[in-house]
């Protein structure tokens, strides 16, 4: 039994929950960021289909598959899957799907202040040693 409850059903899962950092900008350009923890079951029903998305030459909506090359709403997600590491998702969603994904992302999640541990800031900075090595000096 885990201490953290699933954001959707409020049940403490048996296995470690999946942590998802969601981020998007609204029409005024304000950034919204949320941290959501889901049991494996709700991750599977709510997010897994989006995780399988791969951008093609022409962009299609990851949720419904329509062509969104000329107009889409980008939603970013960083998924921390226990035992599987981190997955970064960039989702070009059509209008109605973006609404649905945002509503689902807000269920039971914590709103994160701008510039906190959000999607774009989650990448660890390279250490000095890694930088030197990248430059061929170590």
Using CB under 5 A, list all residues that contact Zn ion. Answer: 6, 8-9, 39, 42, 61, 63-64, 94, 97
In the complex, minimum distance from the CB of residue 118 to Zn ion, in angstroms, rounded to a whole number: 23
Q: Which is nearer to Zn ion, 35 or 42 (CB)?
A: 42
Q: For residues 89 and 118, which CB has a smaller minimum distance to Zn ion in the complex?
A: 89
**Nearest C-alpha neighbor of 89 from the set 110, 58, 120, 129:** 120
Nearer to Zn ion, 20 or 39 (CB): 39
We find the least distance from the C-beta atom of residue 59 to Zn ion, in angstroms, to be: 11
SS (H, E, C) 26-74: CCCCCEEEEEEEECHHHHHHHCHHHHCCCCCCCCECCCCCCECCCCCEE
Residue 33 CB, nearest distance to Zn ion (Å)? 21
Would you say 48 and 40 are in contact if contact means Cβ atoms under 8 Å apart? no
């Amino acid at each position: 039994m885990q201490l953290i409850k699933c954001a959707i059903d409020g049940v403490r899962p048996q296995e470690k929950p999946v942590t998802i950092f969601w981020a998007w900008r609204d029409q005024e350009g304000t950034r919204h960021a949320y941290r959501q923890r889901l049991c494996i079951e709700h991750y599977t029903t709510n997010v897994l289909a989006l995780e399988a998305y791969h951008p093609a030459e022409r962009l299609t909506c990851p949720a419904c598959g329509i062509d969104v090359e000329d107009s889409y709403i980008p939603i970013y997600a960083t998924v921390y899957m226990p035992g599987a590491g981190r997955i970064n998702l960039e989702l070009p969603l059509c209008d109605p799907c973006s609404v649905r994904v945002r509503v689902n992302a807000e269920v039971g999640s914590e709103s994160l202040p701008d510039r906190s541990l959000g999607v774009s800031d989650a990448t660890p900075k390279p250490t000095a040693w890694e930088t030197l090595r990248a430059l061929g000096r170590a």
